[in-house]
Structure 1
């Protein structure tokens, strides 16, 4: 099949092939004329005859050879020309694999051309697959995020429907406190969505400067004051140190760790501790450790905690997990050059460690997940 559409000429026809070789034909004819002139002059110098009929015979023989050369060359390339037309037709119809229709290159030049097309097709497919993964990632995350945001909205609506009447001051205070807690959840959910959208352009969003980790941790704990009180969790901050990093992203990472400590705290009313410890190491590294006394993480879930959308057994029990908090924290910390590790023991608690090392500062392209592209 030639693949030629009605009303459209072939992409590479015999006429194009001949036109491409006109310089070769002209050079060949000029060479024959020069040889004939040289032979004629040489024979005349020896007194030997050389008629115009002999010249015409040689010219016709040369022309015959050239015609045969042109014809055989076209026959050799005709399959490639048809495949080129077929690839063009498939491209017109939107087929992404059109370059793969060229599979019979006859010359080194054509093989190089076909290899280039195959390489460009592979690059195009990789980019397309990355965009598809990004789209699926965005769709999946948006669905989970919307579902999570609907919960506090529903709770607020229910609280307002049951809002105590005049004279019930205690009930009004309880309602107001509950509404404020739900708005905190909404704010943290919106903050997660905002940072997810910024993560793909991290290098444009990051602003590095020297910050005090103690003040930053104290500010993050202040944002979670109400849920900490509600869950009877008493935070403790120990130590301080200066590091060069992006305050906004480190605050986001720390807020995810504190949020998880609250979310997976033990349900009994006994008081629990949330300890944040900052200490400088002898090699000038700074360790920030967040240790809680929650329900802990099962050993089989630990290797997958930083995967996107992974909630594990604890997440399914709480019903509030999107499986994105630790993934985003890991991605952001990797881009900042901060090592984030987790250790946990079921029933005892979980310890998260952020390691700030001078050699890791300003690594704007961290250890990204090759199978997931952010928005």
Structure 2
């Protein structure tokens, strides 16, 4: 605690103390005048006043010395980002008031720790349930796909294609839920390695080829045959896949015979940039700054019931944790471009 703060807190004490001193001196002065019919000398009045001031200053100095160390620890706790166990290790409590503060802080910490522990247990149980449920749902989705692939009757082909499309949406939603649950334990499900980013792009395109064909969208990969980046393969696949799924979703709204989605890889001295550009309906200028917010669907999202506002939010979080940058650019009614920037000399993995 700074001295000026200490003195400000004792302004009321100071006013009361000196009011009492002045009142006492005035009473004594009047008593002497009334009884002796003489006026006392000025130094006889100033002397006790000076003694009182010295005593009061000495008391303030002692009180500040006795309490300053304890309050300085409290101030350090407010400004420090150290572990809470270290912060609560308050010593040098010299008064009953200080000991009470320390006991209250310790009790609050214990109660809070117990509640956090209970919350963590419930959260782990919830994550376990989500993971089990997602894995159970994957089985019927796979079975439906197998059944649809075995159907040969042309008269039901349109119906089967429609079922297959909806089944893809279910599969994508399940995968998104699973990754959202895993993201909370990112440090346990993370592996940095050197990967060929173009190979990952080709796998994403191949996994979505049915949807691309169905909507007459043609993918184009622009770049070298092999570009290596340092990242986590599984999480990067999820981000690129999410960008492509969104590109397909909003490109099919455009009434055009042939549509293209371009994957352009540019390797620079300090970074590699993967840009995915579609020829869809674009993003309104007023929505661009909120694309990565959780559950934000925007003007375009209201046009389709498929939009949840979760996919790009997860993609942004994943890129942040991997140390990559995710950028969006768009012109409404013409195109949208998402760029993933892989920095070569940047530390990966942020908890």
TM-score range, shorter chain: 0.5 to 0.7
Pairs within 5 Å for 1:39-188: 106-118=96-108, 127=116, 169-188=153-172
Q: CA deviation at 1:303?
A: 1.5
2:322 aligns with 336
With over 3 angstroms needed to count, the CA separation of the structure-2 counterparts of 1:130 and 1:277, relative to structure 1, is farther
Residues 1:322 and 2:308 are matched in the alignment: yes
Q: Secondary structure at the match of 2:257?
A: coil
Counterparts of 1:204 and 1:128, CA distance in 2: 19
In structure 2, the partner of 1:263 is 249
Does the CA contact (< 8 Å) of 1:342 and 1:350 recur in 2?
yes
Q: RMSD value over aligned CA atoms?
A: 3.4
**Do structure 1's residue 282 and structure 2's residue 272 form an aligned pair?**
no
Partner of 1:211, secondary structure, is strand
Structure 1 partner of 2:190:
206
Larger relative contact order, structure 1 or 2 (CA cutoff 8 Å, min sep 6): 1
Residue 287 of structure 1, CA deviation: 0.5
Q: Does 1:226 align with 2:210?
A: yes
| Structure 2 unaligned blocks of 5 or more | 1-94
1:120 to 1:221, Cα distance in 2 relative to 1, 3 A: same
Q: Measure, in 2, the Cα distance between the counterparts of 1:306 and 1:200.
A: 18
Which protein has the larger Cα radius of gyration, Structure 1 or Structure 2? 1
Which portions of structure 1, spanning 4 or more consecutive aligned residues, are displaced by more than 4 angstroms? 118-125, 127-131
The offset of 1:269, in angstroms, is: 3.5
Distance in 2 of aligned mates of 1:327 and 1:357: 21
SS in structure 2 opposite 1:270?
Answer: coil
Q: Is the 8 A contact 1:244 1:361 kept in 2?
A: no
Give the counterpart of 2:175 among 176, 188, 191. Answer: 191
C-alpha distance in 1 between matches for 2:244 and 2:105: 53
Q: Which residues of structure 1 form unaligned runs of 5+?
A: 1-104, 366-375
Report the count of equivalent residues.
239
Residue matched to 1:49: none
Question: Are 1:231 and 1:269, in contact at CA under 8 Å, matched by a contact in 2?
Answer: no
Q: Specify the SS of the correspondent of 2:244.
A: helix
Q: Distance in 2 between matches of 1:112 and 1:246?
A: 46
Q: Distance in 2 between matches of 1:107 and 1:121?
A: 21
Alpha carbons of structure 1 residues 231 and 339: separation in structure 2 relative to 1, 3 Å? same
Instruction: State the alpha-carbon separation in 2 of the partners of residues 108 and 202 from structure 1.
Output: 42
Q: How far apart in 2 are the matches of 1:130 and 1:301? A: 35
Displacement of 1:289:
0.4
Range with bigger deviation, 264-273 or 213-222: 264-273
User: In the alignment, which of 336, 359, 362 is matched to residue 348 of structure 2?
Assistant: 362
* Whole-Å separation in 1 of the counterparts to 2:201 and 2:281: 23
